[in-house]
Amino acid sequence: MDCEEDEPEPYDVAGWRRRIESATLGTVRPAALVCAVQDMDPAEKRTVGALLAEVSVRITRILRNFIGTNHPNQGWDLIEDTRNTLLQAVLKPTSADGRALRTAFAGTVRYRARDAIRADRKHRDLIDYALDEDELPRRDLTATPNLEQDAHVESVLRRIEDPRKRLALRLFMDGAQRNSTIGFSIASALDVSAKTVETWIRDLQAELRTIAGDRR
Amino acid sequence: MTDPDKETRRDKVLRDFDAACARPTVEQITEWTARHPEFADDIRDFAGVLWDEAAAGRQGEEAEVDEIHLARARSHAFNVLHDVRGGDASVVAREADATFDRLMQDAGWTTVALEGAMDLSREVLSDLFRGRMAPPVGQRLVDAVIGYLRTTEARFMQAYEHALARPSLGQARANRQPSIVRRSFADIVRASDMTPERKAYWLEED
């Protein structure tokens, strides 16, 4: 483990106590805090507790950045559940997260935030799109209104509740900007019918045209 | 029923997907779902999260968090530590050196300033600090005191236990012998001179 010069070694209880007493834990790398919590004599409960409390603060700041306030209770329920998973992992050095947090703290917390949002969406059963198995012949779906409207596109996309529909349209807009014919492959990548994707795209295009018309 | 083995495999796949694709393309989604058909829908859902995040245009790694939520984060850590590694109440009590007076002093607060900042009746704070509040203390009050005193739940509990062990008297009454009357948190709040809104706030559970 690579500690920075002024960071105590994980097992250096006296060194950590000095950092706690001088209220300078805030400058320590979070991965070093995790190593100390995991490697320190568990009998040093007060010191371990203070270090874990600081780990919890760092976790919370990252989770707050990646879990938006658009979730129930401003996202705090999701943040606390995810923080619970991560704190348990810190105290279980053999777990996948417990190991990963020692070397890639921010990346691990960020992944947990993303995965929590994914699992939450699944749990809420938001993915309730109209599945239509009637396959249509392949068509060119790239014809799209003038792309000067990026900001408007995003405002329209953000209002779409079905995450998979939103993803399909994001991929479509991205492909349209790269001038590739991807409507059909979006359907296959997302496991929805081509007809469904086509309907989504037409709805989006109609809405964008309406916005463009309103602005004239 | 959840299969822990499947959860572990799903986690491995999504973690790798996360590391490999910041903004997954159609081709990447097709490739990864074909390679891991068992988790194809999870991969698609995860791709949606990554795209939404990219569109949100977030800057940096951390967000500002208010002191109450940071206090809660700290106390959460102590609870998890307690759950995972067993009770440390005896250790804490033996080494007890935190008192509310000392915590106030360390954080640079006076009672008057603190009750103003917290918008809390002096009687409530005084009953808490002087050991006249029977456990349990309302969570909102615990969180707020921890936040303002920039301390931890463990330190708070030390101070509280210290106060309970050495209660001090309230205002002397001429007509009867001084005695310690210990009341519940809810009774103290209800009997205080705060507005109904503030009482409701402190009594509410998050």
Distance CA A185, CA A194 (A): 8
Q: What is the mean pLDDT of residues B50-75?
A: 87
| DSSP structure class, residue B117 | H
Q: Across chain A, where does the E strand assignment appear?
A: none
Q: What is the mean pLDDT of residues A12-28?
A: 91
Instruction: Quickly tell me which residue has 């609870």 as its tokens.
Output: B79
Q: What is the mean pLDDT of residues A108-119?
A: 96
Which residues in B lie closer than 8 A to residue A114 (C-beta atoms)? 18, 46, 49-50, 53
Q: Which of B44, B60, B152 sits opposite A190 (nearest CB)?
A: B44
Q: pLDDT band at residue A5, thresholds of 50, 70 and 90?
A: low
**pLDDT value at A181 more than 70:** no
More confident position, A122 or B18: B18
Distance CA B17, CA B47 (A): 9
The ipTM of this complex is 0.82
Q: What is the mean pLDDT of residues A136-148?
A: 42
> Minimal Cα distance from B32: which residue of A?
A189
CB B48 to CB A188 under 8 A? no
Least confident of A117-121, A202-206, B190-194: A202-206
> Minimal Cα distance from B92: which residue of A?
A46
**Tens-digit pLDDT profile for residues A66-92:** 999 988 889 999 999 999 999 999 999
CB B45 to CB A163 under 8 A? yes
**pLDDT value at A149 more than 60:** no
CB-hemisphere CA count at 13 Å for A162?
Answer: 14
Distance CA B155, CA B97 (A): 9
Q: Which of B15, B58, B73 sits opposite A111 (nearest CB)?
A: B15
pLDDT of residue A215: 61
More confident position, A30 or A174: A30
CB A45 to CB B76 under 8 A? no
pLDDT of residue B150: 87
A3 touches chain B (CB under 8 A): no
CB-hemisphere CA count at 13 Å for A72?
Answer: 7
Q: pLDDT band at residue B9, thresholds of 50, 70 and 90?
A: very high
More confident position, A189 or A134: A189
Least confident of A2-6, A154-158, B79-83, B122-126: A2-6
Mutate to test the interface with A, among B45, B53, B92, B143 (most CBs of A within 10 A): B45
CB A191 to CB B29 under 8 A? no
Instruction: Quickly tell me which residue has 């706030």 as its tokens.
Output: B201
3-state secondary structure of B136: coil
The C-alpha R_g of chain B, in whole angstroms, comes to 25
pLDDT of residue B105: 80
Neighbours of A213 (CB within 10 A): 8
> B34-43, B98-107, B122-131 — which one is most confidently predicted on average?
B34-43
Residue A158 has which token pair? 């953000």
Distance CA B86, CA A43 (A): 11
How far lies A41's CA from each of A4, A21, A25, B40, in Å? Answer: 21, 19, 19, 43
Query: A65 to chain B nearest CA, in Å?
Result: 5
Least confident of A128-132, A163-167, B88-92: A128-132
Residue B26 contacts residue A171 (beta carbons within 8 Å): yes
CATH value of A133-215 in 1.10.10, 1.10.3470, 1.10.287, 1.25.40? 1.10.10
Q: Specify burial of residue A15 (Cβ count, 10 A radius: 0-12, 13-18, 19+).
A: middle
Q: pLDDT band at residue B94, thresholds of 50, 70 and 90?
A: very low
Which is nearest to A8 in space by CA: A26, A22, A28? A28
Query: B135 to chain A nearest CA, in Å?
Result: 23
CB B80 to CB A66 under 8 A? no
> Minimal Cα distance from A168: which residue of B?
B48
**pLDDT value at A138 more than 60:** no
Beta-bridge partner residues of B184: B134
pLDDT of residue A127: 42
pLDDT of residue A141: 44
| DSSP structure class, residue A28 | S
Distance CA A203, CA A190 (A): 18
Query: B115 to chain A nearest CA, in Å?
Result: 25
Give chain B's count of helices (H) and strands (E).
12, 2
A202 touches chain B (CB under 8 A): no
Distance CA A183, CA A197 (A): 7
- Cis link prior to B136 (omega < 30° from 0)? yes
Residues of CATH 1.10.10 domain(s) within chain A?
133-215
CB-hemisphere CA count at 13 Å for B63?
Answer: 16
Distance CA A151, CA A157 (A): 10
Distance CA B88, CA B155 (A): 12
**Tens-digit pLDDT profile for residues B124-160:** 998 999 888 988 899 999 999 999 998 888 888 888 8
